[in-house]
């Protein structure tokens, strides 16, 4: 088939093939393990939801909802959207299945693909991958610190060093209401296009997130929410900082941070990597105290994060971090003849069940070709299994790195491999 006739992946989709997929898997594992260690449990969610979940939960004034969602009508005439983020779906599931009626906080983790119709560039994809956690039902500055620490531990586990943590507080409803009055007065005096002014009328904080230079210049002297925090919000923010210092997690306060989603309140944070250029955010999150009630549930607080697996892979590359990228096999079996294939399958299955990585040479290749395949698989040991080996019950086990051979019975093969590998 000519290349012109080949079907290719849609533009802006991140794909991972060997050997890069092994790096992706290593990064995802590193980001998830700290959450598991802290008692968070898996939640698997649909990749599409009713569109209303995101318009109500994420916010109509956000770029995510107004410009970036993949929304379509299904065969039943329902408006469906591919998930652009994880928190709203988790909250929907918690409410629908009554998890908030049990022990609190509900502590959940998830990972998978998310979708936004953005202009593709390095680190910015239309299908991208995230790891996320949510802790729902308890408002506690120590819990905020735990969530931030889990993300930080994941980045450190990857080996990342050139990143910084930025934090702020978006306050409680009283703080935001007081700030909004002054911010709206300030915005009324600005020279804004109609679309931007409409967006600001829905949520004036969105202008702090506007990336255009002309808007950033005009917002440089805008009143900051941190200066309007209530006594309670200020104490919570100070307590979060106290806990982060106790955990020896460095941070800087960024009073202009609002993040890209409307549901954030109180503690808000972002991790920024200094080597990634324009797409420097590798993860972030915050508290969302009104989201559950907004989606029809109880008045319960929550906090969580989303960490970009794609961005972390790029950050690891930028820092020159190497993973155990070579695919290796403990044993490569070369069967000679049909009867040997059946026996090779049973031997491989027994060893695989014992935790060994075992491959078989398929396709009736000649011995020389099979040995080349064993070498490419980086096999530690190789054995040839023919009629005489099956009849005698003894094989010659060759160590590929040294060329040394050892006579081993098939019945003791597992024990022998354990003795030499430590498994």
Show me where the domains of the chain are located: 10-160+279-318, 331-421
Looking at the chain, the whole-number percentage of residues with pLDDT higher than 90 is 72
Q: What is the mean pLDDT of the chain?
A: 92
The pLDDT of residue 188 is above 60:
yes
* pLDDT value of position 165: 98
The pLDDT of residue 1 is above 80:
no
The SS3 of residue 73 is strand
The token duo for 402 is 């040294």
- CATH code that applies to domain 10-160+279-318: 3.30.930.10
Alpha-carbon radius of gyration of the chain: 27
Contacts of 402 (CB under 8 A, 6+ apart): none
* pLDDT value of position 350: 94
The pLDDT of residue 316 is above 70:
yes
Q: How many CB atoms lie within 10 A of CB 219?
A: 17
Angular region, 264: left φ>0, alpha ψ -120 to 50, beta rest: beta
The pLDDT of residue 395 is above 80:
yes
The pLDDT of residue 115 is above 90:
yes
Mean pLDDT of the region 234-256: 97
132 - beta bridge partners?
110, 306
User: What confidence category does residue 344 fall into, taking pLDDT thresholds of 50, 70 and 90?
Assistant: very high
Each as own residue / partner, the long-range contacts of residues 339-344 (CB below 8 Å, 24 or more positions apart, any chain) are: 339/387, 339/390, 340/385, 340/386, 340/387, 340/389, 340/390, 343/385, 343/390, 344/385
Contact 35, 150 (CB under 8 A): yes
- CATH code that applies to domain 331-421: 3.40.50.800
DSSP letters, 253-305, are E-TT---S-TT-EEEEEEEEETTSTTS-EEEEEEE-TTHHHHTTS-S--EEEE
Mean pLDDT of the region 187-201: 86
Between 259 and 245, the more confident residue is: 245
Burial of 269 (0-12, 13-18, 19+ CB in 10 A): buried
The token duo for 315 is 């950050």
Looking at the chain, the whole-number percentage of residues with pLDDT higher than 70 is 97
Its pTM stands at 0.88
Q: Match 């925090």 to its residue by tokens.
A: 229
Q: Match 């491989």 to its residue by tokens.
A: 348
Contact 141, 236 (CB under 8 A): yes
Q: Match 């703080």 to its residue by tokens.
A: 175
* pLDDT value of position 209: 79
Mean pLDDT of the region 156-166: 97
Mean pLDDT of the region 224-239: 96
Contact 421, 330 (CB under 8 A): yes
Q: What share of the chain is helix, strand, coil (3-state, %, to 5)?
A: 45, 20, 35
């Amino acid at each position: 088939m000519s290349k012109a006739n080949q079907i290719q992946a849609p533009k802006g989709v991140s794909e991972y093939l060997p050997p890069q997929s092994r790096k992706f898997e290593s990064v995802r594992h590193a980001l998830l393990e700290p959450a598991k260690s802290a008692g968070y449990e898996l939640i698997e969610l649909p990749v599409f939801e009713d569109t209303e979940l995101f318009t109500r939960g994420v916010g109509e004034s956000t770029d995510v909802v107004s410009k970036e969602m993949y929304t379509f009508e299904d065969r039943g005439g329902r408006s469906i959207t591919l998930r652009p983020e994880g928190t709203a779906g988790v909250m929907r599931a918690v409410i629908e299945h009554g998890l908030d009626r049990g022990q609190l906080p509900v502590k959940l983790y998830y990972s998978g693909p998310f979708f936004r119709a953005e202009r593709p560039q390095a680190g910015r994809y239309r299908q991208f991958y995230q790891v996320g956690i949510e802790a729902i039902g308890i408002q506690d500055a120590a819990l905020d610190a735990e969530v931030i620490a889990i993300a930080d531990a994941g980045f450190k586990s990857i080996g990342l060093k050139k990143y910084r943590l930025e934090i702020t507080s978006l306050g409680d409803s009283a703080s935001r209401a007081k700030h909004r009055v002054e911010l709206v007065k300030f915005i009324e005096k600005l020279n804004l296009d109609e679309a931007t002014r409409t967006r600001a009328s829905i949520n004036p904080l969105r202008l702090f997130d506007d990336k255009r230079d002309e808007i950033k210049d005009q917002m440089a002297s805008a009143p900051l929410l941190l200066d309007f925090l209530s006594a309670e919000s200020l104490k919570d923010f100070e307590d979060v900082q106290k806990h982060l210092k106790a955990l020896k997690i460095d941070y800087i306060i960024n009073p202009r941070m609002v993040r890209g989603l409307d549901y954030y309140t109180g503690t808000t944070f972002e991790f920024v990597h200094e080597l990634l250029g324009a797409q420097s955010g590798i993860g972030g999150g915050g508290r969302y105290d009104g989201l559950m009630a907004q989606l029809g549930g109880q008045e319960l607080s929550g906090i969580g994060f989303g960490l970009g697996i794609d961005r972390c892979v790029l950050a690891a590359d930028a820092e020159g971090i190497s993973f155990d990228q070579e695919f290796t096999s403990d044993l490569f079996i070369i069967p000679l003849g049909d009867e040997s294939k059946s026996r090779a399958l049973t031997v491989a299955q027994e060893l695989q069940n014992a935790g060994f990585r075992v491959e078989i040479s398929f396709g009736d290749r000649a011995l020389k070709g099979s040995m080349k395949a064993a070498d490419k698989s980086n096999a530690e040991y190789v054995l040839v299994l023919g009629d005489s080996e099956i009849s005698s019950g003894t094989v010659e086990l060759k160590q590929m790195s040294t060329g040394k051979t050892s006579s081993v019975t098939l019945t003791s093969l597992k024990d022998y491999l354990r003795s030499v590998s430590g498994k």
